[in-house]
Chains A and B, each alone.
Chain A
Amino acid sequence: MSAETASVTERPSPLAGRFANWNVAIIALTVLVLIVASASVANFGTSQNFGFLVLDLLPIALVALPMTLVIVTGEIDLSVASTLGLSSAVMGYLWNANQPIETIIPLCLLLGAVLGAVNGFFVTVLGLPSLAVTIGTLALYRGLAFVVLGDGAVADFPALYTDWVTGTIGGTPIPNVLIIVVALAVVFGVVLHATPIGRAVFAVGASEQAARFAGVRPGRLKFWLYVVSGLVAGLAGVLWTLRYSSARADNGAGLELAVVAAVLLGGVSIFGGKGALPGVIAGVVLLASLQNALRLSDVSNEALNVVTGVLLIASVLAPNLANAVRAAVSRRRHRTESLHRSSSRKDLS
C-alpha cells in the first residue's frame, strides 16, 4: 500500500505532462516554421505576405474555434465548409434580389445557426452518429448552395464592406478582420477553459454517461455547440464572400478537412475530452504558414494537400506512438521488477 502511494506521488502527472508537451511542441514547431520560412523563402517575411497569410488562415481559424469545442465533446462537424458555401450562395442570391446588405448579413448568420441546429437535431435528438449526419449535411448544404446560386458568381458587393474586410488597421499590415477572429478566439478560449460550460464540454467528451451523472446535460450542450458551429461557419461565409468580393456556391469547398486537420494538429483528441485552444490556434498558424511558404516556393496548390494530409495523420499518430513506447518501457520494467520480487520471495521461503 505504501509502495503504491509512493510511486503515484513520484510519477510526474501524465495529464498535465501530455498537455504541456503537446502544446509546447506545436507552438515551438510553429515558431520554427515561421523562422525558417522567413529566412529561406523569398517574400515570406514581407508585410504584404503577412497580410495575405492572415487573410488565408482566417476562415480556417474562425471555423476551427467552434470545431474545437465540438471535437472535445467527442463529436465532429464535417458540414462547416458546406454551411460556409450555402451562406455565401444565399448572400449572393439575396444581393441579386436587391436586398440591402445590412439585412443580408444577419440573415446569413441566422441561416448558419439554423443549419447548425439541423445537425444538432439529428445528432442529439435522434441520437445519430455525428460523422454520418454531417457527411449527409455536407452534401445537402453544398447541394443547396448550388441550387440557390447555380455555378455562377455574384460580385458587385458594396465597396464599403469589401474594402473593410480586405483593408488593414491604420498603417499596419494587420487586416481589419483579424479583430473579429482574435475577439472570437478570446471568447471561445475563455468559454472552454474558464467557465462551467467549458468544464461540461470536457466532461461530456471524457464520458458522456459520467457527465450526466454529475448533472451535465450532454444533449443540450451538444445541440447548442452545433448551432454555434453553424453560426460561425455562416459568418465565415459572409467574410469569405466579402474578401474575394465573390459569392459562389463552391466557396470554401474542402475547407472542413483543413479545419479538422488544424484542430487535431493542435492536440485535440479525436476521441474527445482532451485539447486546448492555444494549441489549436498554433495548429492553424502552422498549417497556413506552411502552405503559404510552400506556395511561395512554387509548390502547386494541390501538392500542398500532401503536407496537410501527412500532418493530419502525424498529429494523431505521434502521441500514440509515444504512448506505446512509454507503455512498452514501463511494462518491461515492471515485468523485471515483479520477476525479481517473486524470485526473492522464493529465496526466503
Chain B
Amino acid sequence: MATDTPVLRMRDVSKSFGAVAAVQNVSFDLYGGEAHALVGENGAGKSTLVKMLAGVHRPDSGSIELDGTPIELATPADAKAAGIAVIYQEPTLFPDLSVAENIAMGRQPLGRFKTIDRAAMHAQAEQLFARLGVSIAPNRPARGLSIADQQLVEIAKALSADARVVVMDEPTAALTGVEVERLFAVARSLRDDGAALVFISHRFEEITALCEKVTILRDGKHVSTDPLADLSVDEMVRRMVGRDLDALFPKQDVTPGAVVLSVRGLRRDPVFADIDFEVRAGEIVALAGLVGSGRSEVVQSIFGVDPRDGGTVEVGGRKLKPGSPRAAMAAGVALVPEDRRQQGLLMELSIERNVTLPRSRALSQLGFLTGSSERRSAKEWTTRLKTKYGRLSDEVGTLSGGNQQKVVLAKWLSMAPKLLIVDEPTRGIDVGTKAEVHRLMSNLAAEGVAVLMVSSELPEVLGMADRVLVMREGRLVATLDRSEATEQSVMFAATGQEVTV
C-alpha cells in the first residue's frame, strides 16, 4: 500500500521563537498510503512542526522536500498548492459563510463568466458528506456547528482539495467515542486512497488503531521513528518523557482534614449537571475525563468566572455567591486556569503587575499604590517559586512556558488560598518545571490546602491525586480512590467503553 519513495520529507528542520528552540533538527519521511503518528509531550514541538508543514511558520533552517524536490512553504497558500491539508485541533472555519462555501473557499466551481456555480458547489459538498457518511446541510452557516462537525467539514475540505498529505493535529481531543470512530473510518479511507497521513494524539489506543509508523519527539528534538508494531506503549511513553514516571510525582501522604469545598447539584445548561463532590483540606482531588467533558467548565463555574444555573458551592461552610470571582477569592479560592495565555496571564503586562493584580486592593495603603509594596510582594513570591526572569518589569510574555506558569502560581499562592484549583497545571511546560509544580502542589496539600486538579495527563492524575473524579459528557460518572485508580479504570469511566491501553 505504502509508496516506496516518500511523498514528503522533512530534513533537519529547526525553528526557534525568541530564545526558545521549539524544534531542533527534526527529520522524518511521509509515505503515501501510510498513517504516521507524531507523539510527544506538550511542548515537544509537534504543533510547531505542523505549522511548518502548513506554511504558517518558516523553518529557520533545514528543508522540506515534496517528491524529492525541495519546496518553500512560505505561506499557507503554498502549502495548499503543494497538496498539504492541515486539520487543527481547533477548526478554522468562517462562521458567517455556508458550509459548502467553507469547503470550497478558493476553489469554488466556476460557471459562466467565472461566476461561482453555487449549485455545483452545494452538490460537491453533498457528495463529500455522502462519502464521509454524515449529514450536514451544505447551505447552513458554519456558525453553531459542534466541534466534531466542524472537524468533519475540515476533512471534507482536505478531501475536496485532493490533498496528498493530510495532517491532523489532535483532531479527537473534543470528540466522543462514536465521533472518533467515524473520523477514523474517514481517515482510513483517505489513507487507502494513497494520501500520506500525519496523526497527532495523546491517546495511544487511537494511535495503535490508526497508524503504521510513529515518530517520537521530546523537547523539540527527534527521538525515534519506528514501525508502530515494533514499539510497546510503555517504550513509547518512556521515550516521550525520557525518564521514569514514578520519580515525577512526589505526592506525600496526608490525612485529610475538614471539608473545604462542597459542591451540591451544580448545573450549567447544557454543559454539565448533577455535580456533587467534596474536597478536604490536605487532599488532592483530580477531575479527569476527556477534553470537552465539562471539567474546566465545572471549575470555572465554582470560581465564578462562568455562571451556574443551579446548585450550591460552599467553601469552608459558607455558600459562595454565583458568578463572582471576587466572592470566591474572598472566601480563599484560587483558580489557575487552563489557558495560560488567554486566561491566566496578561501577556503584555509586566511580571510584577501579573503577580499582584488579584491583591492590588490588599497591597494598597489608603487606597493608593506606590509600587513598592507590589514590587516587594512580587519579588518575594517569584523568588519562592524559583521563577527565572530578567526584571520584574519584563513583559510576562517573554518568559518560557514553565516560568509563565510559575508566575500564575505565584499570583495565586500569594493570596494564601484555602482551596487551590488548578486546571491543566503542567500543560506545555518543560519536564524540570513540571516536577517542581508537582512538588509544590504536594507541599501545599501537606500544609493543609485543599487542591482540586483538572488534568488530561493520566500519569499526572494517577501520580498526584488522592481521589479521582471522572467526568463524561457533563456528568460525574465515577469516583475512584487512589488504590482503585488505574489508566484502565479512569479511561473506562471517561469514555464509557473498554479500552486496551
A residues adjacent to B (C-beta < 8 A): 1, 3-5, 7-11, 13-16, 190, 194-196, 198-200, 202-203, 206-207, 209-217, 273-274, 334-335, 338-339, 341-342, 345
Give Cα A233 to B354, complex, Å. Answer: 33
Q: Is the CB of B346 within 8 A of A199?
A: no
> Complex: how many Å from CA A199 to CA B356?
9
Residue of A nearest to B411 (CB): A214
**Contact (A195, B350) CB under 8 Å given A10-B390, A15-B394, A15-B395:** no
Q: Which residues of B344-403 have CB atoms within 8 Å of chain A's CB atoms?
A: 344-350, 353, 356-358, 360-361, 364, 367-371, 388-391, 393-395, 398-400
A-B contact pairs, 12 of them (CB 8 A): A5-B388, A8-B388, A8-B389, A15-B349, A194-B371, A196-B367, A209-B342, A210-B345, A210-B346, A213-B344, A273-B346, A338-B16
B314 beta carbon closer than 8 Å to chain A = no
Give the contact-size bracket for chain B. Answer: 35 or more
Residue of A nearest to B349 (CB): A206
State whether the Cβ of B325 lies closer than 8 Å to any Cβ in chain A.
yes
Give the CA-CA distance A194 to B367 in the complex, in Å. 9
Contact call A194/B369, Cβ cutoff below 8 A: yes
Contact across chains for A210 and B343 when beta carbons are under 8 A apart: yes
Select which of A5, A202, A339, A345 is within 8 A of B353 by beta carbon.
Answer: A202
Task: Give me 9 other A-B pairs in contact (C-beta within 8 A), A199-B353, A203-B346, A273-B348 excluded.
Answer: A8-B394, A8-B398, A15-B393, A203-B349, A206-B346, A207-B345, A213-B337, A339-B61, A342-B14
A199, B400: Cβ atoms under 8 Å? no
Q: Is there an interface contact between B368 and A194, defined as CB atoms closer than 8 Å?
A: yes
- With a cutoff of 8 Å between Cβ atoms, the chain A residues found around residue B411 in the complex are 214
| CB-CB nearest 6 A-B residue pairs | A206-B346, A196-B360, A199-B360, A338-B60, A9-B390, A4-B19
Q: With A195-B368, A210-B342, A334-B16 given, is the CB distance from A342 to B62 under 8 Å?
A: yes
Measured CB to CB, the closest approach of chain B to A347, in angstroms, equals 13
Question: B12 on the interface (CB 8 Å rule)?
Answer: yes
Smallest CB–CB gap between B242 and chain A, Å? Answer: 14
When distances are taken between beta carbons in the complex, the residues of chain B under 8 Å from A15 are: 348-350, 393-395
Chain B residue at smallest Cβ distance from A198: B369
Chain B residues in 8 Å Cβ range of A216 = 357
Q: Whole-angstrom distance from the CB of B416 to the nearest CB of chain A?
A: 15
What residues on B are CB-neighbors of A13 within 8 Å? 350, 390-391, 393-395
A273 vs B411: C-alpha distance in the bound complex, in angstroms?
Answer: 19
Cβ of A7: which chain B residues have Cβ within 8 Å of it?
A: 19
* Chain B minimum-CB-distance residue to A346: B12
Q: Chain A residues with Cβ under 8 A from B303's Cβ?
A: 213
Closest to B25 in A: A342
In the complex, what distance in Å separates the CA atom of A280 from the CA atom of B154?
A: 47
A27 and B10 alpha carbons, distance in the complex (Å): 52
Taking CB atoms, residues of chain A closer than 8 Å to B432 are 1
Tell me the chain B residues, 15-54 only, with Cβ under 8 Å from chain A: 16, 19-21, 25
Once the chains are docked, how many angstroms separate the CA of A199 from the CA of B349?
Answer: 10
Given the interface pairs A8-B398, A342-B25, the reply to whether A213 lies near B325 with Cβ below 8 Å is yes
Q: Report the Cα distance A196→B393, complex, angstroms.
A: 18
CA distance A210 to B336 in the complex (A): 11
A198–B367 CA distance with the chains assembled, in angstroms: 11
Task: Indicate if the CB atoms of B395 and A213 lie closer than 8 Å.
Answer: no
Query: Across the interface, do B305 and A200 meet the contact criterion of CB distance under 8 Å?
Result: no
- Give, as a whole number of angstroms, the nearest-CB distance from A6 to chain B: 9
Q: Across the two chains, which residue of chain A brings its CB closest to B395? A: A15
The answer to whether the Cβ of B326 comes within 8 Å of any Cβ in the partner chain is: yes
Contacts A195-B364, A339-B60, A339-B61 given; does A211 touch B390 at CB 8 Å: no
In angstroms, Cα B371 to Cα A99, docked, is 48
* Distance, CA A1 to CA B43, complexed state (A): 14
Q: How far is the CB of A341 from chain B (nearest CB, A)?
A: 8
Contact A207 B388 (CB under 8 A): no
**A214 contacts B357, CB within 8 Å?**
yes
Candidates B62, B342, B399; contact of A207 at CB < 8 Å = B342
* Bound form: Cα–Cα A339–B60 in Å: 7
Tell me which of A3, A211, A215, A334 contacts B346 (CB under 8 A).
A211
B100 within 8 A of A: no
Determine whether B156 belongs to the interface, using a CB cutoff of 8 Å to chain A: no
* Complex CA–CA separation, A7 to B389 (angstroms): 10
A342 touches B393 (CB 8 A): no
By a CB distance below 8 angstroms, the chain A residues around B493 are none
User: Cα distance A206–B303 when bound, in Å?
Assistant: 21
Q: In the assembled complex, which residues on chain A have CB atoms less than 8 Å from the CB atom of B348?
A: 15, 206-207, 273-274
Contact A195 B369 (CB under 8 A): yes
Tell me, yes or no, whether B494 is within 8 Å of chain A by CB.
no
